[in-house]
Structure 1
């Protein structure tokens, strides 16, 4: 909670001060972006982790071992809260901020590339702050960050990236539920 509050405060400040026109607009194509990119990222993660040769992931034990306890301890935060807060911080604040700072000085392509690398790198660093990552995990987190940044850069809107992150996390949870049932 403290981490998400720490990420949320700069988001609120940045969005109150200024935001690009259309960043918060919702279009039906955002649904397609989110489903396609999120599903593609999950397939990439499966390929990188050797999913064809390993067992399904399983759910961590919950302080409250009931299904509702697990849902409120792990499911809601990782499926709903994390994608919204992380995407708004890394894409609406970091990506847009770096792009706006560099756009006039180095041109839009170099600014977009630098902003993408910065926001995706920060995304990896956030996820490595609490446990060490394998090389495959680091590559996968970077791919998620870069793909979501690319969605924002190409569409000019945040919701496709939020949905892609949500689909990516929800598909892992679905696989973990199946793995737990099969175990």
Structure 2
């Protein structure tokens, strides 16, 4: 019979050649890659080609991402359009109106109107440029073919309402007309009565009142009062300043003031409902252009 030494007989089972306990230790290290001396299992080691599973976006992360696509939902693009922008806009409007009024009183009549209008345009245009250099609210400048439909349709509807308001407030309802000199329109008519009211004024006024004023006030009020209250307040304030500005620079009579108010309400509602500015710009363009067409017809038909 083979003989064994005492040391061999007393040695615990599993120590020699790894044994059962050694295999269990190796298996434990294999299952736990972080354990000291653990072999790198396929797909777990640092040199593995396997890519870690992508994290599923949470509802909060998806919500935060969607906020950046529309200024009405907040986000970084409107964070710089708050109290400072609104305050500067109101101060600029007041300064432009006051300086323009002073120019009309102090300067000769032949140039006072141009100077007053130019000062007001510079005040509004400078504010718009400064605000957009600070930030560009998401989706506000997006253009859609629907804006053409809104602009044409609502512009003509508002012009029709203006005719009804004129008659209701004591007007004759007759076609407007331009003054003529020797049967011809005065020099400079193309700029003062065509380009200025149809191209320049709608863009400047809508970007000032419906972009800068409306969006900044909506942004301030949205969190504490909710979207509905913020929208109503922003629309009313924007329209009120729009009417006040026109009244201070020469809108006379209740009919004209009411017509300007209707235009302001329609343009404000369009910006709030669509999130885009170009529909309001086109409504204003069509509204003013339709007056030019009617006035030319009244002038030629005499």
- Tell me which residue corresponds to 2:128: 11
- Tell me which residue corresponds to 2:289: 170
The 8 Å contact of residues 180 and 186 in structure 2, kept in 1 or not, is answered as no
Superposed, which structure 2 residues align to 1:46-125 within 5 Å?
46-50=163-167, 53-60=172-179, 66=185, 69-125=188-244
**How far apart, in 1, do the equivalents of 2:241 and 2:298 lie?**
30
**How far apart, in 1, do the equivalents of 2:152 and 2:186 lie?**
26
The 8 Å contact of residues 251 and 257 in structure 2, kept in 1 or not, is answered as no
Q: Deviations over 1:90-133 (max 9, x none)?
A: 01100001000100011100000000000000110110112253
**How far apart, in 2, do the equivalents of 1:19 and 1:149 lie?**
18
Unaligned runs of 5+ in 1: none
Unaligned runs of 5+ in 2: 1-117
Change (3 A) 1:75 1:15: same
- Tell me which residue corresponds to 1:37: 154
**How far apart, in 1, do the equivalents of 2:281 and 2:259 lie?**
17
The 8 Å contact of residues 179 and 185 in structure 2, kept in 1 or not, is answered as no
Higher helix share: 1
**How far apart, in 1, do the equivalents of 2:232 and 2:295 lie?**
34
Change (3 A) 1:132 1:140: closer
**How far apart, in 2, do the equivalents of 1:165 and 1:8 lie?**
17
**How far apart, in 2, do the equivalents of 1:116 and 1:137 lie?**
20
Superposed, which structure 2 residues align to 1:145-160 within 5 Å?
145-160=264-279
Change (3 A) 1:57 1:8: same
**How far apart, in 1, do the equivalents of 2:301 and 2:228 lie?**
48
Structure 1 residue 19: Cα displacement: 2.8
TM-score, length-scaled by structure 2: 0.57
Moved more, 49-58 or 147-156: 49-58
**How far apart, in 2, do the equivalents of 1:66 and 1:104 lie?**
53
RMSD: 1.8
Change (3 A) 1:61 1:77: farther
